[in-house]
Amino acid sequence: MRNEFARNLDLAQAKIQYDEQCKKVLGDKNVLSWILQRTVREYAGMNREEIMKCIEGEPEIGSRRVNPGETNASQITGMANEDKVNEEGTIFYDIRFFAWIPKSREKIRLIINVEAQKKYHTGYSLTTRGVFYGARMISAQLGTEFEIPEYDKIKKVYSIWICMNAPQYIGNAISEYKLEKTDLIPGIPDRRKEYDKLSVVMVCLNTKKETEDQFLGMLQTLFNTELAEKEKKERLEQEYEIQMENGFGKELSLMCNLSDTVEERGIQKGIEKGIEQGMEKGIEKGKLEMLFSLVRDHVLSSADAAKRVGMSEAEFVSLMQK
């Protein structure tokens, strides 16, 4: 029988692998084209095929180490995912890449960051964190996109947050936070391109609430842990025109398999823990304990977990809070 440390380690590794695979799926150009079409004003009115062509290279996903100022702009494919500034700490981006705006008179580059967030309430504001990420993406351009005093060369940045498990009072919603000009005393010309350099977009998902919005429906389908892999792929292809070719189907399969692995390892951990402690009905109690853990880690919703043990959601939540 494995000890508690080994069980915890197995489960933690499975969760990490699942989170990383979610980022890979989210960072596929098929999915990114949906995100950009709905959340980036510069792509309004463009079809997704056109948008995919605007994404430079392959978006970087992971934690490749690059310091601001050390990356030669002509060699960038996507972008590095880490910003590290002396005495300011290190931050890792989930997904970061360059994209072009072909409809403008000149080819303008955007720098776009997409983050997947399982928890909406984290002890701090996700919107404020998004502003921080955007500010870092602007300051990191010094030495790669512009040199002092060529500030007009600064590229606009977007920090887009996909927030799963949003609370009921928010439901399914999208909001953008951006810089705007306000005249205290009129007279200064409004040249938007001079200050329109940073936008934070929050995309909130709540699977307990239905949505008629096609974009939000696509994301709900993509990350719904209750849908079987075959059904998920069929819905994405038929309802949202996302093809399972060019490796995307394989990445999606791996994400679904890892989701099952997290649940299975969690339940097995609970079963073994119950047996070791000689509990009466150890398997049932162990399974409950692990389902509680999966809900707290936002791998499963409380409604989904309750179904797995034949309870109402209210009963399950009540037990979890004891």
Contact predicate 240/218, CB 8 Å: yes
Cβ distance 240 to 264 under 8 Å?
no
In degrees and rounded to multiples of 5, residue 147 shows phi and psi of -125, 150
Predicted local distance difference test score (pLDDT) of residue 303? 82
28 in any annotated domain: yes
Domain identity same for 170 and 221:
yes
Give me the pLDDT at residue 21, please.
79
Exposure string of 102-121, with b = 16+ CB inside 10 Å and e = fewer, is: eeeeeeebbbbbbbbbbebe
Give yes or no: residues 220 and 135 share one domain: yes
Q: What local confidence, expressed as pLDDT, does residue 305 receive?
A: 81
What SS3 class is residue 65? coil
| Cα(76)–Cα(183) distance, integer angstroms | 39
What's the pLDDT at 278?
Answer: 44
Do 141 and 274 fall into the same domain? no
Q: Is residue 25 part of a domain?
A: yes
**Rounded alpha-carbon distances, angstroms, from residue 320 to 164, 264, 285, 315:** 20, 19, 12, 9
Count of H helices and E strands in the chain? 10, 8
128 in the same domain as 60? yes
Number of domains present in the structure of the chain: 2
Mean pLDDT, 10 residues at a time, the chain of 322 residues: 46 64 84 93 91 84 45 38 53 83 71 84 90 92 91 93 89 94 96 94 89 92 81 89 81 71 51 49 66 78 81 82 74
Q: Which domain holds residue 295?
A: 257-320
Nearest C-alpha neighbor of 272 from the set 289, 293, 256, 255:
289
163 and 18 share one domain: yes
| Of 11, 103, 19, 96, residue with least CA distance to 54 | 103
